[in-house]
Structure 1
Amino acid sequence: MATQYAITGTTAKEITASVERGVAEGALEPGTALPPVRGLAERLGVSPGTVATAYKELRGRAIVVTRGRGGTVVSAAPAVASRRPPRVPAGLRDLAGGHPDPELLPHLVPPSLLSPGARSHRGTPRLARLEKVARDWLAPDGVPTEHLTFAHGALDLIGRLLSVELRPGDAVAMEDPGYHHLLDLVTALGLRTVPVAVDDRGIRPEALRVALRAGVRAVVCSPRAQNPYGGSFSEARRDALVEEFRKEPDVLVVENDHASSVADAPLHTLTTGGLARWVHVRTVSKFLGTDLRWAAAACDPTTLARHDGRLLLTSGWVSHLLQETVHGLMTDADTRALLARAQETYALRRNTLVRELAGHGMEAHGVSGMNVWVPVRDESAVVNGLRSHGWWVAAGARFRTSAAPGVRISAAELTPPDAVRLASDFAAVLGESEATYGG
């Protein structure tokens, strides 16, 4: 056993609780191998069946996974412990967080009229005026808006749908590289991730075809501002993907348009392709405020019924105070003007960084959104090298399943002069050790 933590217990329930406690407290880290069933049974003085039952329970709750001859190990993102990003060292410029520029966010003013009294909104979970605003927001991009719902952000909606639609062990096709919180969420739900390669036009049709043939039950993808690669569907790419999806009508297609209003790329949505099972979700945290955990989602009627049925049994509804705040901002002329400026600013900053890196002979990807992906050979060497120059970027390991190494740079707050300096420092790091770069 590759850890000093001692699993205890004489019943399956006690053994399960002991492992869960070790994971939650950090004593059993992701990837840690658990003892073989017979070895642990002998040490604890119990039958192998007791240990096997405990391991089965842990697998069902996505705390551990079994890797054949590799044995049973703690999951990469166990459901009883959160994987947090590394803390930014003092004195470094943070380009790893993926956050918007605070200067390009509106000031949040809570609604003056609070909900009167203590009453349930289960009967009317959505404000009618915000539903209209959401439809007016989605429809011009071609998204069908007959069936609409709200959620506490994209992760909340996607997690709820996957837990209703799928069962532990089912497969989900995910972008590779892709958004690390979504990758962790799929693992925490006990689902299997099937990586789908991406390029500057989003997920690649041939990779999607392989995933669909492998029997995935759902696909999660971004039509633009793909995180971390920055890809954006072209019309031709969208049509090619729709053709693949039509061959598997029972697969749930989740389109996460997380940057929408500031993505600086047209939306070529999969939802116009007549798919049977689909949902298009948009959040506002990237351009109205990171604390506004609200999302609008258009979907097919079956998906709507399943999502809202589960929502009714949990939180019940999205806070009307939150809905009032979002409505006020989305109908405010000054906020709309700020969003237009934010979109132009983010495009300028991202494009400047890509151009400056290319000027130093470095490959970089980022045709939309706030992030730039730079392929490298040794992520740690690049991260530590840039750290010595005062920059903190994200190692790509958090975003990758089987994709080649890289680093993600969040360009939202990176002014053009800063981009020039960063590119120069990046080139210096690579010059110090050519083996770090794989571009």
Structure 2
Amino acid sequence: MATDLAAQWLAERLQDRTKRGIAIDTAALIRAGTIEIGMHLPAVRELAQALGVSPATVSAAWSQLKKQKVIAGRGRTGVWVCGDKVSPRPVRFEQIGNFGEHITADLVLSAPDPLLLPDLKAALISATETHHLNSYLREPIMPVLEEAVKLTWPYQADAFLAADGGFDGMSLIMQTLIMPGTRVAIEDPTASRLLDILDHIGADVLPVPCDEQGPLPDALHAALRQNPSAFIYQPRTHSHCGHTITPMRVRQLTALLRDQQTLIIEDDGLGDLSAWPAVSLGSEFPDRTVHVRSYSKSYGPDLRLGVVSGTREMIKQIQSFRNFGAGWSSRLLQHTLAWLLTDPQTQQGLGEARRIYAKRRQDLVTALAIRGIDVPLHDGLSIWLGVPSEQFALVTLAARGIAVLPGEGCRIRPGQHIRISTSQLTADKVDFVADALALVYG
């Protein structure tokens, strides 16, 4: 069979000519191997004519298959088959890669050091006495957790909801509050999983570059001229760049957003491990700000908890969507987190963890500076590094047993970057990693 499929050939094999039917029948042909990976599908207008349907019907069917990561492409390059597994999945996140068994320094994920996480024993024992344990009452958040998070929440929010982690909270917000196919402004770079979620809902992504103070006002202004439905940013300790939005930048963004109706979505992914106090535009725009804080890196990833704030109507919408699944987050885990948030010994340990993480990052920054590579001090569990060639950097480091995160899946605009996790980089490996990074620059 030719690489380019003929419109008539495909039309003869599509029995149901609705947009859903075209998508299902085409997916079945791909899954069976009748249409092979790499083949180009007919142009939308040609297939529409062969089927006797409108081009919009075919285009909608292709959009569905793109969401399922079965086909890719657009415009002059055409549309081709890129996979035979018909299921939505986070492609960027999956492409982080397996660098092989020879890796001795895995610096890909900015995961917390297990040795720096709090002891959960007393908190879990306390949770067995939680209110409504084993009840099927679908409450958005337990009162004890709501009261605990309010102590450090950056603005007075109307309502709260417990989610199964920060990314779960972000996913719930985007699936319920952002209409599929609309424009969304988001920081660039950002977390790959956020871009995956936006891809899944078919959003038209508008990049908003950052500097040392946060999202660039001119870039946000340009994006707002295109009337995005939402603006997504990280208010403190950016997960890649490490900067925290400054008071001056807050004022600038506030002025730009004041006359808009854009939904503001704030992703506080590092949470209580940040060296900076919590920041939110919710103080200025409480009626259209949704704030998400993750507690995974600070208190334990297996707690699987994040907290979302917004208006009562927003939280009601999100809670209604959750009824497709579990309906609520574990009360045992919510009570456990509430206990940890108010336990003096846990908070003291959290302060010590912040100090150690800061030193590990600073040690690598200092080592790189000695080798002529300048990196901002900043905060966080990683370093975002511009390199001459991302591919060369990955290969060079992997050859020396070091794995880092490729920047490609975290960017919208072109660029060459890698992210190096410092959260578990012990002192004995700092010079080894710095020497390898110096080779990346020739």
TM range (shorter): 0.7 to 0.9
Amino acid of the structure 2 residue aligned with 1:67? R
1:354 matched to 2:370? The reply is no
Instruction: Check if 1:121 corresponds to 2:133.
Output: no
Secondary structure of 1:137's aligned partner: coil
> Which of 292, 298, 306 is residue 309 of structure 2 equivalent to?
298
Question: Could you tell me how far apart the structure 2 residues matched to 1:40 and 1:49 are?
Answer: 9
**One-letter identity of the residue aligned with 1:244:** L
Which residue in the other structure is 2:51 paired with?
A: 47
Moved more, 290-299 or 157-166: 157-166
Letter paired with 1:72: V
> Which residue is equivalent to 1:134?
149
CA distance in 2, matches of 1:117, 1:128: 13
Contact 1:105 1:289 (8 Å CA) reproduced:
yes
3-state SS of 2:303 partner: coil
Indicate yes or no: 2:72 matched with 1:57: no
- CA distance in 2 between partners of 1:74 and 1:192 (Å): 21
1:274-423 matches, within 5 Å, as 274-312=285-323, 314-365=325-376, 367-423=378-434
Corresponding letter in the other structure for 2:274: A
Q: Which amino acid aligns with 1:204?
A: L
Where 2:187 maps in the other structure, the secondary structure is strand
Cα pair 2:163 2:329 within 8 Å, conserved? yes
Aligned equivalent of 1:72: 79
Q: TM-score, normalised by structure 2?
A: 0.85
Match of 1:208?
220
Q: Is the 8 A contact 2:130 2:335 kept in 1?
A: no
Q: Give the aligned partner of residue 232 of structure 2.
A: 220
Structure 1 letter corresponding to 2:79:
T
Partner Cα separation in structure 2 for residue 336 and residue 282 of structure 1:
17
Is the CA contact 2:15–2:25 (under 8 Å) kept in the aligned structure 1? no
- Paired residues of 1:41 and 1:47 also in contact (CA < 8 A): yes
Single out whichever of 155-164 and 287-296 deviates more from structure 2. Answer: 155-164
Which of 276, 285, 290 does residue 265 from structure 1 map onto?
A: 276
In the alignment, is residue 148 of structure 1 matched against residue 163 of structure 2?
no
Shift of 1:100: 1.1
- Check conservation: 1:171, 1:215, Cα contact below 8 A: yes
Structure 1 segment 246-265 matched on structure 2, within 5 A: 246-248=258-260, 250-265=261-276
| Contact 2:192–2:409 under 8 Å retained in 1 | yes
Residues 365/185 of structure 1: CA separation in 2 closer, same or farther (3 Å cut): farther
Deviations 1:203-261 (A, max 9, x none): 1111111111111110111012212222211111111111111121x111011111121
CA contact (8 A) 1:382 1:429 kept: yes
Q: CA shift at 1:276, angstroms?
A: 3.5
Structure 1 unaligned regions, length at least 5: 432-439
Query: What do residues 143-174 of structure 1 show as CA deviations (whole Å, max 9, x unaligned)?
Result: 22442222222222222222223322101111
* C-alpha distance after superposition, 1:7-45 (max 9, x if no partner): 76433455412544688899987x985432366679xxx
The 1:32/1:211 distance shift into structure 2, 3 A limit, reads farther
Which SS does the other structure have where 1:291 is aligned? helix
Cα distance between partner residues in 2 of 1:307 and 1:224 = 24
* Structure 2: 5+ residue stretches without partners: none
For residue 392 of structure 2, give the secondary structure of its aligned residue in structure 1.
Answer: helix
Cα distance in 2 between the residues matched to 1:24 and 1:333: 56
Partner of 2:16: 11
> Which position in structure 2 is the counterpart of 1:178?
190
Q: Deviation of residue 312 (structure 1)?
A: 4.4
The one-letter code sitting in structure 1 at the alignment partner of 2:392 is: A
AA aligned opposite 2:23: T
| Distance in structure 2 (CA, Å) of the matches to 1:161 and 1:24 | 32
Residues 28, 3 of structure 1: CA spacing in aligned structure 2 closer, same or farther, 3 A cutoff? farther
Q: Once the two structures are superposed, what CA deviation does each residue of 1:387-409 show, in whole Å capped at 9, x if it has no partner?
A: 11221011110101104210011
User: Partners in 1 of 2:363 and 2:39 — Cα distance?
Assistant: 42
Conserved? CA contact 2:235–2:245, under 8 Å: yes
Change (3 A) 1:361 1:204: same
Check conservation: 1:200, 1:366, Cα contact below 8 A.
no
Q: More deviation in 110-119 or 266-275?
A: 110-119
Aligned length: 421
Paired residue type of 1:121? L
Amino acid at match of 2:118: P
Partner of 1:81: 89
Q: Is the 8 Å Cα contact of residues 38 and 48 (structure 1) preserved in structure 2?
A: no
Higher deviation after alignment, 399-408 or 309-318? 309-318
